A and B are shown apart, each in its own frame.
Chain A
Amino acid sequence: MAGRSGNLFSSIFRPVGRIVSPVWTALRRQLAQTPVLAFQLGVLVAVLLEQWQGEAFADLLGFRRIPRFFGIVDIFEPFSDLDFSGILAPFFPSPNNISASPLQDSVQALGELATTFVKAFFYQGPRAPGFFDVTFRVLIYDIVVFVVPILIIAFLLRPLVSELLRRFPKWSLILVHLIILAAIVLLWGDDGGTRELVLIFMGINIILTVSLNLVNGYMGEFSVGHAAFMAVGAYVSSVMTMWAFVDDRVFGAPALDPSWGLPVGFAIALFAGGIAAAIAALLVAFPSFRTRGDYLAIVTLAVNFIVQSAINNMEGIGGARGLNGVPLWSDLSWVLLTTILSVFIIHSLVNSTFGKGIIAIREDEIASELMGVNTKRIKLVTFLVSSFFAGVAGGLFAHVLAYINPGNFGILKSTEVLVMVYLGGMGSISGSIIAAIIFTLLLEALRPLAILKWVVIPLILIVLMLFRPQGLFGFREIELNWGWQKAKEKPEVSGATAED
C-alpha cells in the first residue's frame, strides 16, 4: 500500500510524520504491552463516567442529548436533506412528468444540490449545525469521555492487571474477560432503545458472518444463500414460541404454561431453529457437493428463492403477509450469550485438527482426500454447522423484530452477509467480527442518507476490494495481548484496532 501513495502525499505528510511518528510508535508500543483486561477495565470506567456526567458534558458541548453511538449517528445527520434525484430525473422522465428542457432542469437541480451540500458541511441554521461542527464536537466528546479515561485507566492498572494475569489460571481469566465484557455491553447498551437494538443486530450479524465465513472463507466454497437458512431458523423458532407460549391470532391460546417460555422455551426454540436450518442444509448439500466450483453458489441461490417462495405460500404461518406477534425475547443478554457461544464453538472447530481439515480442503481438495481427510464428511459437517448458526441467528432475529415476513430473508439479506464476510476477510474469525461491527455501525450511521446509504456502502466495498482484495484481515487473526501467554516478539498488537 505504501508504494501506491504518490509523491504529493509523501511531501505533505512526511514532515508531519517526522514529528508524529515517534510519538505514535511509542504509543503503539505502550498499547501493545498493555493487556486486554486493562483496556476492558478502562472501558468499564469510561462507561460509568458517561452515565454519571455524560449528559452534562454533552449539554456543555451543545448537544441536546448524549451523542448517539459515540456520535457517529449524529455526524451524518446534516446530510439528511440531500436529494440527488433531480440531476438525472429530467433525462429519464415518467410519462406524466416530461421536462421541456431537461438539461436546464438538471443544471438547476445540480446547483440546488451544491448549495445543500455546502450547507450540510458548514452551516445549516442556528438549530441545525453542519457536518464539520458536529464532527468536531463529537471528537471532543469522545476523546474526553472515552479515549482519555480508557488510556489513563489502562496504563495505570497495567502493573496490577499483569500481576493478576500471572497469578490466576487461564480458564478463570477467560471468565473474568467475559464477565467484564458482559458488564460493559449491558451497562452501556441496555437502554431499551437504539443502543440495545443496534447491539442486538450487531450480535446477530456477528453470528451470521462468522458462520458463513466457515463455508466461504475456511472451506473456500461459495455459498450465497445464507438468508435461506436464517429464514428456516426464524420461522421454526417463532412458530414454536408462538404456538407454545403466546396468545396470538395465528395459533390461538398458548399450548404450554407461558411461564416456561423464558429461558427454557426460548433456548429450546432457538436450538430447534438451528437444527431445522441444518436439516434444510442437508437437503441442499446433497446436490451441491457433487461437483466443485460455482455450483454451490447456484444451488444456494436457488434455495434462497425456493425457501422464500415456499414460505410465501404457507398460509398456516402467515404466508406473504408475514408472521406477527413473535414474542420480544431476544434481549441484549440473550444475544450476547448466543454470540459468544457461537463464536466460541466455531473458533474451537477451526482450531481443532479435525477443523483444520476444512482449510486443507480449501487448499487442495484432492490432496486432502488422498492424505486421509474424509472430505465428503467434513464438507457436509461444515455446511451443517454453518447453517445451524444461521438458523440460530434467524431465531434471534425473529424474536427481536416481533414481525417477520419472507421479504426479510431475501437475496439482499444474503448479500449483506456476504459483504460482511469479504469485508472482514476470508478465513478470519476476528476479521468477521470486526466487519460485522463496522457494517452494522455503518448502516446505522448512514441512516440519515436514506437511499444514498446503499450507494455509499457498495462504493466502500468496491474501493476496498480494489485496494485490499483479501479483505481487512484475510486469512489471519488479530492478535491481542491477552497477557496469559508470552507475547510474540513483534509488537504488532494494539488494543481494539490492529493495523496492517
Chain B
Amino acid sequence: MDLDTLAQQFLNALQLGSLYALVALGYTMVYGVLLLINFAHGDIFMFGAFIGVFGAFVLGLPFLPTLLLSMIITALLGITIEKVAYKPLRHASRLSAVITALGVGLLLENGMLALTGADPRRYPDNFFAASVTIGDTTLELSVRIVIIAVALILFLCLYYIVQRTKWGMAMRAISYDKFAVPLMGVSQDRIITLTFVLGAGLAAAAGILWGVAFTASLSPYMGLRVGWKAFIAAVVGGIGDIRGAALGGLLLGFVEIFVVALGSPIGISSSYRDLVGFALLLVILVVRPTGLFGVARRQKL
C-alpha cells in the first residue's frame, strides 16, 4: 500500500469513525444519566437523515440549514420519546425501559417504512457544496474533510456544554448520584430532557452526514446496524463517558476500514469486517471490562 492510499484510507477511517462517534455519544449520555440502553437511538439517527430529505427536497434548503433543521426536529422527537415512553417507566424495573426502547426502535423504523414507502432515497446532487469561495479563490473541499470537521465541531460544542456549563456538570453529577443532584437545585427532568436533546441532535447530524458520505444508503433500516455498532463503540469507550464514546467510535471506524484495506491484499475478504471488528472489541472488553475510560465502581457491601 503506497502512502497516498494509506492517507485515503486514513481519511475514510476518520470519517466513518467520527460518524460512529456522533451516534455513540447519544448512547453514552443517555446511559450515563438514566442507566438506560436506548436501543431506539439508531432509529433516531435514521429519522434525522430522513428529515434531511425533507429539508433538501421539499423546503429546498442547502446543507447547513438542513442540518440545523434536522437536529432541531429530531431533538423534539427525542424529547417526545422520552416523555411518552421512558418517563413513565423511570421507577419500574430497568429492563422494562430497555424493552420499551427496543419497541420504540422497531416502531420508528417500521413506521417510517410503512408511512413513506420503500422508494430508494438520497440527497440532491448539488446538496453538498464541496467548495468554498473566499474572495477570488475557490477552495475545493473534500467531502470527507468537511464531514470530519463538522463532527469535530459538534463534539467540541458538546464537550464544552458537558464540561463547562452548569447543566453539563449536573448531567455528569447525576450519573454518580441521582439523589444528590435535585438537592442542588437542578431539576432531574430538565437534565434528562437536555440529554435527549443533545443525543438526538447529534444523531440527526450523524444521519445527514452519513447520507452525504454514503449516498445510496438512506433507508428506514439504516439505523439498525449503525445503532448497534455505535452502542458497542460506546461500551468499549467506557459507557457513560463522552470522551470514551468518541474514542470508541473512532476505534471502530479504524478497525473496520483497515481490516478491509490491509486484509484484501493478503486474502482476507472484506466480509470479515464485522467479525474482526467485533472480536477485537470483545478482546478489549476482556482486558478492560469497564471500557477504555470507564471506572470500576466498588460495589458496596
Contact = CB atoms under 8 A, between A and B. Distances in A.
Residue with the highest number of chain A CB atoms closer than 10 Å, among B97, B104, B115, B279? B115
B120 A94 contact: yes
A357 B274 CA distance: 37
B261 interface: no
A97 B277 CA distance: 38
Contacts of A111: none
Interface string B84-117: 0100110011011111101111110011111111
Interface string A290-313: 111011011101110110111011
A324 to B, nearest CB: 20
B282 A222 contact: no
A216 interface: yes
Contacts of B106: 415, 454, 457-458, 461
Contacts of A143: none
B58 A91 contact: yes
Contacts of B239: 294
B115 A87 contact: yes
A216 B275 CA distance: 26
Contacts of A451: 110, 113-114
Contacts of A287: 282, 285-286, 289
Interface string A460-478: 0110011001100000000
| Chain A at the B interface: SS class | helix
Interface in B247-301: 269, 271-275, 278-279, 281-282, 285-286, 289-290, 296, 299, 301
Given A216-B95, A301-B232, A462 B54 contact: no
A: interface residue count bin? 35 or more
Interface string B154-173: 00000000000000000000
A292 B99 CA distance: 19
Residue with the highest number of chain A CB atoms closer than 10 Å, among B92, B118, B278? B278
Nearest to A370: B301
A93 interface: yes
Contacts of B111: 455
A89 B290 contact: no
B34 interface: no
Interface of B: 37, 50, 53-54, 57-58, 85, 88-89, 92-93, 95-100, 102-107, 110-122, 124-125, 224, 228, 231-232, 235, 239, 269, 271-275, 278-279, 281-282, 285-286, 289-290, 296, 299, 301
Given A297-B37, A309-B273, A465-B96, 18 more contacts: A85-B117, A90-B58, A91-B58, A92-B116, A93-B53, A287-B286, A291-B290, A291-B296, A294-B37, A301-B228, A303-B278, A303-B282, A305-B228, A308-B274, A310-B275, A422-B95, A462-B85, A465-B97
